[in-house]
Chain A
Amino acid sequence: MPMPPATSADWLLNLNALAGGAFLLVSFGLVALRQVQGCVRLYVLQSVLLATSALLLSALFQTWHLYAVGILDLATKAVLIPWMLRRALHDEIYVRREITQVFNIPTALLMALALAIAAYFLSRPMLAAVAHDAPVALNLPIGLAGLLLGGLTAVGRREAVPLLLGLLAMENSAFFAGIALAPELPLTAEVSVAFDVLVLVFVVAVLTRAVERRTGTTAVGALTTLREDPRG
């Protein structure tokens, strides 16, 4: 049944806010969760939330661009990337619990909280320039926070897969802000970014296998021989 236009827009914005909140929560989860398999699931969930937001905004802006972006996002990040990771790396990696994180969990979560608050303040001058745009006011701070949290994930992890997922979460977050900022961006751009991410996953999988063959570990963050100080 059709709803009055104003109400449906409100509904869409509220649902988008819900997706945004969940997106931020998942970003926090990626910083702290130890199980590798759990991290992969969280990343898939984050991608689904990104797609949800894109579909909601496509209904709000009445543009098919974002609809295509949402579908593309689901196809690559919720299906193709987990499948590629499964195929490329053996099962034993996924049941691991990572206990060699750089920061312990409470410290990491406190840093994450500080970064999220910083993102809120950093986004204010940008928001001032796009005055009174409700979707941007929601998606930009959350995207920026996700970007910083993804960076924290990548810096704080030593295992190859969670580290890669941190990088991919950064890209997800940039897109989360991007769908609200640039709903009319030509689709070629989105297709090329998706392709780019797939190449990244492929290259990282090849590299991880080479590291494992060579050093017997996938804790790539623990490789620290290249330094300037004298070698012992």
Chain B
Amino acid sequence: MNLLVIPAIPLLAALVASVAPGRKGAPAVTLMGACATLGGALWAAARVASSGRLVTIAAWAELDGLSALVLLVVAFVAVLAALYSWGYLSAHGYEPRTVRRYGIHFNLFVFALVLVPVLAEPALVWMAVEFTALFSVLLVGFDGTPEALEAAWKYIALMFMGAAIALLGVFLLFRAQAVVGGGHYSWEGLRSIGPRLPQGLVIAAFVLILVGFGTKSGLVPMHTWLPDAHSQAPSPVCALLSGVKTTVVLYTILRLVPLLPAHEMDVWLQGVGLLSVGTAAFLLLQVRDYKRLFAYSTVEHMGIIVVAVGFGTPHGAYGAMLQIVSHAITKSFCFFAAGSALLVVGTREIASVRGLVRSSPLVAASLLFGALAIGGAPPMAVFLSEFAILRAGLASGAYLATALLIGFIAVAFAGILLHVNRMVFGPAPAPDPAVHRRALPTTCVLTLVLGAIPILVLGVYQPSGLHTLMTQAAAALAPAVVP
């Protein structure tokens, strides 16, 4: 099977969704498309796990462990988000025209997200990364409220500023390869001649791409758009934005790590990551909106991944891969839970939600489960990945960075639990007739149940195929061995 079939599926689904009849047509097409994409991604990941690489067009469209892992995570979250969208759209009772519009944008967004790992040529990857922003901006402003439109404007302006800066980095990278000569202009081609590349150009390109794409993945100090966009978008879109879009962009930055002079940038990466983790951990404490709470937690987790890579050891890289997977599945679950709370209580304000455990026990339970899971409580997946990262940090001798990381993670954990605790427990207020409440649709309940399974399972058990894939992905972060 051709690798390009995988991004073609959501593209086709977008076309079909544009003519799908009724209120159920587009969501059904979207869900089928997402399931087919996941099927393709599983097939591709299995092939990569067994043979190491999957090449359709050499140097243009190929998968290795790292990109296969990202592809798999994107496809998995897309299925859950498509399932949740079904209930989300029907609960809001949108017109068929609006439902179709949502279906088109949602599928195009998934198309862009899938395209990034499948492509291997940096300039084309740049385009795909920019597509993830262009196709999601109208989803961010989907509600059409002044706040949502404001968030969408901030989002697109900062996305494109980041893209323009990164574009210069892509040009410099091409130049760096042209100086050496030979090989393809692709991730693997660059990695194979990594040590021979002129270091000045590679570092300049890396800094530009880190600033440009770091903006897009929400690294501090260019994170300001993230809580706005990730709180104003419809909840299933938030799950995709926070769970996988940030990861997909971070993936392109990680692609440059093996090109860097060995261990020279480690301290810088740790610093950049810790800045994000620390800032987000303290910003978490003072939020008033529970969707913003989880958005700041995304900034924190992006930082943790960068720190883990910055440890510069195979164990650190493996921890980063584990964190990519556990963050994606857990954060999307958190947004499904937050979205369910929003459907049920009709407000985003933490202060107006009390005693959820009495009024809607299922939502309260999933919100609490999501908060514990994303905070890193055992035995969930994030606990395992954060533990692996902290152990790698101690083993690599970066004691100060590890200590700071432990401190910030503890602050973030306390912050998330503090807010969620208030919402879940306490006396339930008398129902306010002015607030529009909705019943939780069955598909949303199903999403919560399905989404909770991998979070629990990956905390105690790792399928051997996934372990192989993550080992390969971690190896892709190390410089190539030059014969």
B362 within 8 A of A: no
Bound complex: CA A69 to CA B138 (Å): 30
Most A CB within 10 A of own CB, among B174, B176, B185: B174
- Pick the contact of B121: A143, A154, A189, A214 (CB < 8 A): A189
B163 to chain A, nearest CB (A): 8
Docked-complex contact A207 and B157, CB < 8 angstroms: no
In the complex, chain A residues 204-232 whose Cβ is within 8 Å of any chain B Cβ = 204, 206-207, 210-211, 214-215, 220, 223-226, 228, 230
In the complex, whether B53 has a CB less than 8 A from a CB of chain A is no
Looking at the assembled complex, report how far the CB atom of B31 sits from the nearest CB atom of chain A, in whole angstroms: 25
Stretch at the interface among A4-12, A103-111, A172-180: A172-180
Task: Give the contacting residue for B164; candidates A173, A220, A226; CB below 8 A.
Answer: A173
In Å, the complex CA distance between A130 and B204 comes to 12
Instruction: Check if B167 sits within 8 Å of A193, measured CB to CB.
Output: yes
A171 part of interface (Cβ distance < 8 Å): yes
User: Which one of B67-75, B280-288, B313-321, B328-336 is at the A interface?
Assistant: B280-288
A177 touches B130 (CB 8 A): no
The A148-205 residues at the B interface (CB cut-off 8 A) are 150-151, 154, 160, 163, 167, 170-171, 173-175, 177-178, 181-182, 184-186, 188-189, 192-193, 195-196, 199-200, 203-204
Q: A178-B167, A189-B123 are in contact. Are A163 and B288 (CB under 8 A)?
A: no
Contacting residues, chain A, for B134 (C-beta < 8 A): 196, 199-200, 203
Q: Is B149 located at the chain interface by the 8 A CB criterion?
A: yes
* Partner of A151 from B161, B167, B172, B228 at Cβ < 8 Å: B161
B residues near A186, Cβ cutoff 8 Å: 121, 123, 185
| Inter-chain contact B160/A200, CB cutoff 8 Å | yes
Does A144 interact with chain B (Cβ within 8 Å)?
A: yes
Residues of chain A contacted by B198 (CB below 8 angstroms): 129-130
A68 to chain B, nearest CB (A): 15
Q: Given the interface contacts A226-B147, A226-B151, does A174 sit within 8 Å of B123 by beta carbon?
A: no
Complex Cα spacing A125 to B150, Å: 39
- The residue from A171, A192, A214 contacting B123, defined by CB atoms under 8 A apart: A192
B251 beta carbon closer than 8 Å to chain A: no
- 6 further A-B contacts with Cβ under 8 Å, apart from A167-B161, A226-B154, A226-B228, are A130-B201, A136-B175, A207-B137, A210-B144, A226-B150, A226-B151
**Judging by beta carbons under 8 Å apart, are A167 and B171 in contact?**
no
Contact A126 B200 (CB under 8 A): yes
- How far does the alpha carbon of A129 sit from the alpha carbon of B200 in the complex, in Å? 6
Question: B141 interface residue, CB < 8 Å from A?
Answer: yes
Q: Which residues of B contact A223 (CB under 8 A)?
A: 146, 149-150, 153
A211 / chain B contacts, CB cutoff of 8 Å:
146, 149, 153
- Do B127 and A196 touch across chains, with their CB atoms under 8 A apart? yes
Cβ–Cβ contact B171 & A182, under 8 A: yes
Nearest CB on A from B102, distance (A): 15
For A182, the chain B residues whose CB sits under 8 A away are 171, 174-175, 178
B58 within 8 A of A: no
Give chain B interface residues in 118-149, CB to chain A under 8 Å. 121, 123-124, 126-127, 130-131, 134, 137-138, 141, 144-147, 149
Residue of B nearest to A143 (CB): B168
Once A228-B287, A228-B288 are accepted as A-B contacts, the answer to whether A207 and B200 lie under 8 Å apart by CB is no
A204 nearest CB neighbor, chain B only: B156
Contacts of A230 in B (CB 8 A): 288
| 25 CB-based A-B contacts, threshold 8 Å | A129-B176, A154-B161, A160-B153, A163-B157, A167-B161, A178-B171, A181-B175, A185-B123, A185-B171, A185-B174, A189-B123, A192-B124, A192-B127, A193-B123, A196-B127, A207-B141, A207-B152, A207-B156, A211-B146, A211-B149, A214-B144, A220-B150, A223-B153, A226-B147, A226-B232
- A128 contacts chain B at the CB level, 8 A cutoff: yes
Q: How far is the CB of A37 from chain B (nearest CB, A)?
A: 21
A75 CA to B134 CA, complexed, in Å: 22
Q: Contact at B153–A177, with CB atoms within 8 Å?
A: no
With A and B bound together, what is the CA distance between A226 and B123 in angstroms? 34
Q: Which residues on the A side are within 8 Å of B428 (C-beta)?
A: none
Tell me if A203 and B138 are in contact (CB < 8 A): yes
CB atoms of B283 and A171 under 8 A apart: no
Say if the beta carbon of B275 comes within 8 Å of chain A. Answer: no
Tell me which residues from 208 to 252 in chain B have a Cβ below 8 Å from any Cβ of chain A: 227-228, 232
CA A186 to CA B178, docked complex, whole Å:
12
Contact A220 B121, beta carbon cutoff 8 Å: no
Complex: A172 Cα to B298 Cα, angstroms: 32
Q: Cβ of B179 < 8 Å from any Cβ of A?
A: yes
CA distance A208 to B308 in the complex (A): 40
Residue of A nearest to B168 (CB): A174
A225 to chain B, nearest CB (A): 6
**B165, CB-defined interface residue at 8 Å:** yes
Given A174-B164, A185-B174, A215 contacting B146 (CB threshold 8 A): yes
A184 contacts B164, C-beta separation under 8 Å: no
User: Quick one: closest B residue to A189, CB to CB?
Assistant: B123
Q: Judging by beta carbons under 8 Å apart, are A126 and B130 in contact?
A: no
Q: Which of B137, B145, B167, B172 contacts A126 (CB 8 A)?
A: B172
Q: How far is the CA of A151 from the CA of B287 in the complex (A)?
A: 29
Please encode chain B, from 175 to 192, with 1 for each CB lying within 8 Å of some chain A CB and 0 for all others. 110110000010000000
- Asked whether any CB of chain B lies closer than 8 Å to the CB of A78, the reply is no
A116 to chain B: closest CB distance in Å? 16
Q: Mark B372-384, 1 if CB is under 8 A from A, else 0.
A: 0000000000000
**CB–CB B137/A128 < 8 A:** no
